Amino acid sequence: MSNVSVGIHSRGGLFRGRVGAETFWCSLVLAVVGFFVLYPIVLIVVNSFQVAKPGMPPLYGLEGWRAVLAEPGLRRAVYNTFSLMIVRQLISFPFAIFIAWLLARTDLPGKSLLEFMFWLSFFLPSLSVTLGWILILDPDYGIANQIWKALTGAAHGPFSIYSFWGIVWAHIGHNTTAVKVMLLTPAFRNMDASLEEASEVAGSSTLGTLVRILIPIMTPIFTVILLIAIINGFQAFEIEMILGAPINFHVYSTKVYQLVQQEPPAFGPATALSTAVLLILLPLIAVQRKLTARRQYTTITGRYRAKAIPLGNWKNPALAFVTLIALLISVAPMAFVLMGTFMSLFGFFDIPHAWTTDNWKRVFDDPIFMLSLKNTLLMSLGAAALAVSLFSIIAYISVRTKFVWRSALDFISWFPSAMPGILMGIGLLWLFLDIPLFRALYGSVWLLIIATVISSITLGTQLIKANLLQLGQELEEASRTTGASWLTTFRRIVGPLLFPVLLLVGVLGFIHAARDISNVALLATSSSRTLALLQLDFMVSGRYESAAVVATIVMLLTTGVALIARFLGLRVGIRA
Amino acid sequence: MMLKRLLAFTAWIVLALSFAGTANAQAKPKDWDALVAAAEKEGQLSIAGPPGDTYRSALIGWFQKKFPKIRVEYNGASGRDQVPRLARERQSGVFNWDIYIGGPTSPLGALKPIGAFDPLPPELILPEATDNAKWHDGFRSGFMDVEEKLYYAFDGTTSDVLYVNADIVAPSEIKAYKDLADSKWAGKIVWEDPRQEGSGLNSALLYKLTYGEAFIRKLLAEQKIIFTRDRRQLTEWIVRGRYPLAVSLPSDQLKIFLEKGIGKNVKQVEDAHFIQSINPGFGAFGILNRRPHPNAAKLYANLLLSVEGQTSWAKQSGGRNSRRSDVPIGDPEAALKPGIKYIQSQTEKMVAQRQLMAKISREVIPQ
């Protein structure tokens, strides 16, 4: 970072030659972001020491924190969490790097479609996909085991989705791999072909170039993805809840969930547990910042050239490999989801009238469907727009300015992701109720937009930051030397180069908002309810098939937005 | 002759109905029309209710049809989300809601102590709503709070503790609920997680009350029970026979399977010696004070407890029953039976017992 920053600061950055103005605007951003992020978190943490019963005067103590240490099975749950996290990353990381490289740097046929299939996998609803895998891999009635038994005459099939490896598979087969491919492909695309050419001239093979040149230079994006993976490892619980129950398999997040579900909810111990995650993350974030600051990661300079590496004889095997993975994690689960929407009871094929359109009718006939659809579109588009704008500014300040508190801004952007959704939701509820200005907007879609953007700040900011690190500053300098203003430079040079990642962040912001339940459930009213809450309604009623219909509609909305984003991104952004 | 009889019968029915109509009209208090007019003038009713489209439809569908001029703002969420939200809103001076509907434990634990509810009896002016003869065990027995005036359970669904998949286990194999402790059932029981509030905790509490703490501790700790929070999954497991015994099977979920022609093999196990209880689930409510639409709230509260409101609850809530005896039965297997003494296992007096049971569950369930 230092090389980049020094260059920029000495010759002028966003606020060229006006250090006072730069400091003022950066401080303002820090104050606003810090307030929205820290206020709810501080309230939650302070409240975790509150031990008085409802209606009694406040009384503070350590009971909540002590209770968490005495929580039965916590050590086992932490062990399970780390085991799952490590195994998932060891498997998915190499696969994702290889696939993203093939998609971004080679002449693989149909790579645009294949890349989009990984996006689709990320858009799929967790619950429906997990139910689909149960249908295939249930030890008793799973289709795969049935086929195995029929073929071999064995009494039992070899597969069980209700196992450690079943949970690993459900994660990898859903979005653990997909999200990495989504995030890595644009970063690989930003690589200058001259790096590969230089490596080949020095006698390195294509694979050697990937391992020795490309991967090291992508440290910023790798560390971001790794940290996000660690955070997700602590927070993922839907799959563990469903598949872990029969084998009594608990993880850290199911413990937090258990505490919040108690009566009365044990918010204190839940916060204590969540704060521990934050404490684990802080040194990792510091290491990540140090790693990315120590070296120069610029790959896009004024001499940038995009060039696809010919795969030669490896083209067909590579195509078969990527297609197989893409089909396995996108088309197969999508088939489960769609099938679920047309079944009377998901997974029951041998009942009378097994197939029906009633689930769709039930959703369309629901009196709040149209309003929920409208609210979802408004909220998600608003969240996407705000996310792109706000996260770009935060990332820009972190990477391109000399603002003394830029590290603090970067640190703060990690905090919301370390807090479980339900706790962050409560913190934001308190924030909006405590401040009179927001109280006037309470229950409106506008507050939902703010809440969902705050809760998705980490991934978006860090993604833009990592891509910004790849961008050489001489492009901006050259533009300004020719007399272009900052705005023109951004519009003509920086914007188009960052365009693919900005669109990706917009799409992620859209889907995060469209799916968000924990924040929206606490802030919405009947006039601002969204499709995610309608989906929750159906799930609570046990109408999983109708819930799958709503999830499919959200998926279609997101796919539409993603298609437009990709169309624009491929037209404006860098192509290999 | 036949036609004559039919005509006479029809005339008798028309006459009886018109008398009933007159009686109903007469049963309305004299200021009822003024209340309706005032409620319509307010034009809105805000209900913080239970989650799910089924409950939403059962609780407000009939009211919206009857009073199209009153817009119903219904926010469905679990007590876990709803109660902290309402408590914080009130702390900040935001009073958006008229009525809270949901399980008694959360609101009695967190909303009653902050004085969020107004007494219900002064609001109930419709004689039909409080007619002692029409409510199982009398109208007053529905109050959940110690003072018997703030929070009222209209639901009359019994706690069906144990079910078997008859294709795998003959119901006769289990003579009493305590037979569940037999080691031959180890690893074959699925139970809605009793570590959190809900039917699973209710069943565990009833076991504790019937057989004592040592029994339930041993049962939860040693029988390799599968605990799940997913009610649909629990139902599917017993229907498919993956686990042939289910404690606290949600009847509304089983109904979904029965509607599609499966799950007929799932049978309730009867045990007359086991404590019988009413578990109101989400079927209880209170009127919030400083409410924005007092007349609409009063109108709704009266009609919710009337035949019309309770008929909608019994017919549309997916297998719940009413404590009213003059409305249809939603789930015959979980209907209140005359002559049996039921305990209300979710009253305020029981909160401490429930919390203790949840604590025991957390302690003994292997993790």
In degrees and rounded to multiples of 5, residue A25 shows phi and psi of -65, -40
In degrees and rounded to multiples of 5, residue A440 shows phi and psi of -65, -25
Neighbours of A150 (CB within 10 A): 10
Q: How far is CA A239 from CA A169, A391, B230, B231, in A?
A: 10, 30, 12, 15
Would you place residue A232 in the very low, low, confident or very high pLDDT band (cuts 50, 70, 90)?
confident
B167 and A CB contact within 8 Å: no
For tokens 């078969």, name the residue: A320
Domain B26-157+280-336: which CATH number of 3.30.470.10, 1.20.1250.20, 3.40.190.10, 3.30.70.260: 3.40.190.10
Contact between chains at B105 and A263 (C-beta distance less than 8 A): yes
pLDDT in tens, A345-385: 988 888 888 999 999 999 999 989 999 999 999 999 999 99
**Partner-chain residue, chosen from A245, A262, A439, that has the shortest CB–CB distance to B196:** A262
Instruction: Please give the pLDDT value at position A299.
Output: 62
Which residues in chain B are contacts of A430 at CB distance < 8 A? 88
- Gyration radius (Cα) of chain B, Å: 22
Contact between chains at B73 and A426 (C-beta distance less than 8 A): no
DSSP per-residue string spanning B196-240? SSSHHHHHHHHHHHHH-HHHHHHHHHHS--EEES-HHHHHHHHHH
pLDDT in tens, A165-180: 999 999 988 788 998 9
For tokens 């199209």, name the residue: B68
Cα separation, A1 vs B274, in Å, equals 71
pLDDT in tens, A183-219: 888 888 877 767 777 777 777 777 777 777 777 777 7
DSSP per-residue string spanning A34-50? HHHHHHHHHHHHHHTTB
- The alpha carbon torsion through A528, A534, A535, A537 (nearest 10 deg) reads 130
Domain B26-157+280-336 shares a fold with domain B162-275+351-364: yes
Which residues in chain A are contacts of B223 at CB distance < 8 A? none
Instruction: Please give the pLDDT value at position B244.
Output: 96
pLDDT in tens, A13-72: 444 555 577 788 899 999 999 999 999 999 888 888 888 876 677 888 888 888 888 877
Cα separation, A448 vs B140, in Å, equals 42
* Contact predicate A532/A106, CB 8 Å: no
Cα separation, A7 vs A29, in Å, equals 23
Q: Where are the domains of chain A?
A: 1-61+350-576, 92-340
Shortest Cα distance, chain B CAs vs residue A42, angstroms: 16
A314 burial level (CB within 10 Å; 0-12, 13-18, 19+): middle
Domain A1-61+350-576 shares a fold with domain A92-340: yes
Contact between chains at A541 and B260 (C-beta distance less than 8 A): no
B117 sits in which H/E element: strand B117-118
Cα separation, A417 vs B291, in Å, equals 37
The token duo for B276 is 């019988």
**Taking CA B257 as the corner, what is the angle to CA B255 and CA B259, rounded to the nearest 5 degrees?**
70
A265 and B CB contact within 8 Å: yes
- Gyration radius (Cα) of chain A, Å: 24
**Partner-chain residue, chosen from A264, A442, A521, that has the shortest CB–CB distance to B81:** A521
Q: Is the peptide bond before A264 cis (omega within 30 degrees of 0)?
A: yes
**Partner-chain residue, chosen from B56, B105, B365, that has the shortest CB–CB distance to A537:** B56
Which residues in chain A are contacts of B220 at CB distance < 8 A? none
Contact between chains at B367 and A537 (C-beta distance less than 8 A): no
Residues of chain B with pLDDT under 50: 1-4, 6-26
> What is the distance, to the nearest Å, from the Cα of residue B321 to the centroid of all Cα atoms in its chain?
7
Mutate to test the interface with B, among A243, A526, A531, A546 (most CBs of B within 10 A): A526
> A1-61+350-576 architecture in CATH?
Orthogonal Bundle (1.10)
A349 and B CB contact within 8 Å: no
Which residues in chain B are contacts of A76 at CB distance < 8 A? 367
DSSP per-residue string spanning A344-385? SSTT--SSTT-B-SHHHHHHHHSTTHHHHHHHHHHHHHHHHH
For tokens 């795998």, name the residue: B168
A250 and B CB contact within 8 Å: yes
Shortest Cα distance, chain A CAs vs residue B271, angstroms: 27
For tokens 């974030």, name the residue: A285
> B162-275+351-364 architecture in CATH?
3-Layer(aba) Sandwich (3.40)
**How do beta strands B71-76 and B44-49 pair?**
parallel
Which residues in chain A are contacts of B233 at CB distance < 8 A? 242, 245
pLDDT in tens, A312-337: 889 999 999 999 999 988 888 888 88
The answer for residues whose C-beta is within 8 angstroms of residue A276's C-beta and 6 or more apart is none
**Partner-chain residue, chosen from A242, A348, A541, that has the shortest CB–CB distance to B52:** A541
* Contact predicate B215/B367, CB 8 Å: no
The token duo for B11 is 């005339």
* SS (HEC) of B255-322: HHHHHCCCCCCEEECCCCCCCCEECCCCCEEEEECCCCCHHHHHHHHHHHCCHHHHHHHHHHCCCCCE
* Contact predicate B190/B225, CB 8 Å: yes
Contact between chains at A442 and B256 (C-beta distance less than 8 A): no
The answer for residues whose C-beta is within 8 angstroms of residue B313's C-beta and 6 or more apart is B58, B59, B154, B155, B283, B304, B320, B322, B327, B330
For tokens 């229950």, name the residue: A443
Which residues in chain B are contacts of A248 at CB distance < 8 A? 226-227, 366-367
**Partner-chain residue, chosen from B74, B91, B111, that has the shortest CB–CB distance to A526:** B74
Which residues in chain A are contacts of B318 at CB distance < 8 A? 541-542
The answer for residues whose C-beta is within 8 angstroms of residue A216's C-beta and 6 or more apart is none
Helix segments in A138-192, DSSP class H: 143-152, 164-171, 177-189
- Name the B residues in 44-103 with CB < 8 Å from any A CB: 51-56, 72-81, 84-85, 87-89, 91-92, 94, 96
A260 sits in which H/E element: helix A252-261
More confident residue, A259 or A297: A259
How many contacts, defined by CB atoms under 8 Å, are there between A and B?
A: 144
Please say whether the dihedral angle defined by the alpha carbons of residues A432, A436, A438 and A439, taken in this order, is positive or negative. Answer: positive
CA atoms within 13 A on the CB side of A495: 12
pLDDT in tens, A237-248: 788 888 888 888
Q: Specify the 3-state DSSP secondary structure of A485.
A: coil
More confident residue, A38 or A298: A38
Q: Specify the 3-state DSSP secondary structure of A474.
A: helix
Instruction: Please give the pLDDT value at position A297.
Output: 62
Mutate to test the interface with B, among A71, A345, A365 (most CBs of B within 10 A): A345
Which residues in chain A are contacts of B79 at CB distance < 8 A? 263
pLDDT in tens, A473-513: 777 777 778 877 767 777 777 777 788 888 889 999 999 99
Which residues in chain B are contacts of A540 at CB distance < 8 A? 51-52, 78
DSSP per-residue string spanning A82-151? HHHHHHHHHHHHHHHHHHHHHHHHB--TTHHHHHHHHHHHHHS-HHHHHHHHHHHH-TTT-HHHHHHHHH
- Tell me if the pTM is above 0.80: yes
Instruction: Please give the pLDDT value at position A302.
Output: 58
* Nearest chain B residue (CA) to A57: B114
Helix and strand numbers, DSSP H then E, in chain B: 12, 13
B265 and A CB contact within 8 Å: no
The answer for residues whose C-beta is within 8 angstroms of residue B344's C-beta and 6 or more apart is B141, B144, B153, B277, B278, B280, B350
pLDDT, mean of residues A124-129: 80
Does the pLDDT of residue A9 top 50, yes or no? Answer: no
Contact between chains at A54 and B87 (C-beta distance less than 8 A): yes
- Name the A residues in 29-68 with CB < 8 Å from any B CB: 53-56
pLDDT in tens, A419-478: 888 888 888 998 999 888 888 888 899 999 999 999 889 989 988 888 888 777 777 777
* SS (HEC) of A409-432: HHHHCCHHHHCCHHHHHHHHHHHH
B312 and A CB contact within 8 Å: no
Cα separation, A472 vs A493, in Å, equals 11
User: Is domain A92-340 annotated with CATH 3.40.640.10?
Assistant: no
Q: Where are the domains of chain B?
A: 26-157+280-336, 162-275+351-364
The answer for residues whose C-beta is within 8 angstroms of residue B15's C-beta and 6 or more apart is none
DSSP code of residue B99: E
Instruction: Please give the pLDDT value at position A2.
Output: 34
A262 and B CB contact within 8 Å: yes
Cα separation, A143 vs A350, in Å, equals 13
